[in-house]
Amino acid sequence: MTNKPIIIGVGRTSFGEHYGENPEELIEEAGLKALEKAGIERKDLDAVFISDYFLQVTNKIGIEEGFVSELLEVSIPMETLRSFSSALCCACNAIEAGRFDIVLVGGVEKMTDRLDKIRDDLMMLGDPWSYHAGGTPEAFHELMLREYVKTYYLNGEEVEKLMKALAYISCKNHYYGSTNPLAHFYKRKIRVEDAIKTRKRSGRILGLYDFAPISDGASAAIVVSPRKAREIAEKGLRVIGRGSATDYISYFARNYKAGFNATRKAVERALNEAKIPPEKIELVELYDQSTLMELIALEDLGLCKPGTAWQIIHESYQKENYTYHINGNTLYVNTNGGLKADGNPMGATGGAQIHEAYIQLLGEAGNRQIKFKNNNPYALTMELEGFGTKSYVYILGRWENEL
């Protein structure tokens, strides 16, 4: 692990509806917080990797690197990617290759600026055939839910428990989000009954409370080489394992439809690199674009056996427990509220996951601090691009300067 990148500072804005702010203001706020946390200045940066999905469409910004260069007042290598996790991947590659020592990774999105058209934009992240057929993002989640029930031969009573488990995921994430001052739905708790009622009201399998909202926001992280970390930092997070994988853009062309093969391959690579078993992971920040996605991710990541996550979640529902208990271990999932309650400004979402892992593992979460069982706990973050077309998994551990 001698060359593993280290995250020494994080920052983010609140997520929600930022109608009155430009994307430049949001990324500046997040970036300045990360720089301050890391104890460095703009002039110290070697490179910047920034992520967004829709700024060219929502805010007519054609070359994002240009406005970031103007904000930072530096002329250094910069690249734009889609997700925060993809930007972080490029930063880690560059640091491990010895190309850079200090890299700013940032993500920003202003989705509410095009609220009347954003659903059409989101549909473009799927395959073009589904887009032209009018296939909405919600439709894919409902189709996968049907595939899950069919794949694991769930009967009527089991399906009823599965649906209550999904409602409880929403309830749990809103509970965590209600305590997070930066969350889109801060102080907004819901009940399982609320989630079920919205389904019945809409006449759909999944309802309003099963899906993440449209959000604005920004996030940032300072990633450095181990050599530089020993010079300038006291503590941080070490990226001990990471993996990414892709799958067909067409969901219908995939052989396996009750989960995401991309995530299964990505986590396998991350765990092999980290050299730890899944049982060592105590905190997981998942890409819950819907409640189903959290359930599916628990199985794809190997934290639950295929076809059993709904049982574990339903047990938590019965015990009114906001943690999952798997094989005698306690697992915290989406303690910032997840995409469901923290929000989903897509280019910045992965940065919020890293932010949560950072403050929790380093004991800086205040009254939201969770209690880890191990003295050296590990966290995992997982982010998707599209409907499982790409998956990124990071495994993070504490780092302290021994000098």
205-227 pLDDT, tens digit per residue, is 999 999 999 999 999 999 999 99
Per-residue pLDDT at 254: 94
Per-residue pLDDT at 201: 93
Strands (E), 169-309: 216-224, 235-246, 281-285
Q: Where are the domains of the chain?
A: 6-116+215-232
Q: Indicate the pLDDT class of residue 132, thresholds 50, 70 and 90.
A: confident
Angle, CA of 236, 241 and 244, to the nearest 5°: 125
- Across residues 358-378, what is the average pLDDT? 95
Angle, CA of 14, 16 and 21, to the nearest 5°: 80
Which CATH number is 6-116+215-232 given? 3.40.47.10
- Angle between the 291-300 and 309-319 helix axes, to the nearest 10 degrees? 120
**DSSP category for residue 111:** G
61-89 pLDDT, tens digit per residue, is 888 999 899 989 999 999 999 999 999 99
Tell me the pTM. 0.96
Q: Is the pLDDT of residue 116 over 80?
A: no
144-168 pLDDT, tens digit per residue, is 999 999 999 999 999 999 999 999 9
- Across residues 35-44, what is the average pLDDT? 96
Asked if 384 and 289 count as a contact pair (C-beta separation under 8 A), the reply is yes
Closest CA to 288 of 376, 382, 149: 382
**DSSP category for residue 390:** E
User: Considering only 57-61, 302-306, 317-321, 343-347, which range has the smallest mean pLDDT?
Assistant: 57-61
Q: Is the pLDDT of residue 118 over 90?
A: no
Closest CA to 34 of 85, 81, 72: 72
Per-residue pLDDT at 1: 56
Q: Is the pLDDT of residue 401 over 60?
A: yes
- Across residues 126-135, what is the average pLDDT? 81
90-101 pLDDT, tens digit per residue, is 999 999 999 999
Percent of the chain with pLDDT strictly greater than 70: 100
Per-residue pLDDT at 117: 82
Per-residue pLDDT at 130: 82
Per-residue pLDDT at 113: 84
Q: Indicate the pLDDT class of residue 403, thresholds 50, 70 and 90.
A: low
